Amino acid sequence: MPSTANITVRFFAQLKEVAGTGETQLICQQAMRIADVKQQIADEYPLLAPYLKSVFTALNGSYCGGETEVNPGDEIAFIPPVSGG
């Protein structure tokens, strides 16, 4: 079970293939922002780094910017350019 002190980070499509997983957990730090989550993921998954400039981010199912604050229990998603329809 994921600890409530954690945040969940989800990957989709090509990002999921490159990361080798659809999701991971990070420990939520004090005053953590989306940009910090991105940096931590880039450090942990160096193969993802080249793509992270071109991904959008979502917090609990809504698009959000890099300055958005992250709290324990949140779900952050890295959204590669979409191609539905």
* Interface with other proteins (CB under 8 A): 10, 12-14, 17-18, 50-51, 54, 58, 61-63, 77, 79-85
CA–CA separation, 76 and 57 (whole Å): 7
CB of 46 to other proteins, least distance (A): 14
CB of 42 to other proteins, least distance (A): 14
CB of 11 to other proteins, least distance (A): 10
CA–CA separation, 30 and 53 (whole Å): 24
CA–CA separation, 7 and 12 (whole Å): 17
Cα angle 44, 3, 30 (rounded to 5 degrees) comes to: 65
Q: Which is nearer to other proteins, 16 or 29 (CB)?
A: 16
Q: Which is nearer to other proteins, 32 or 77 (CB)?
A: 77
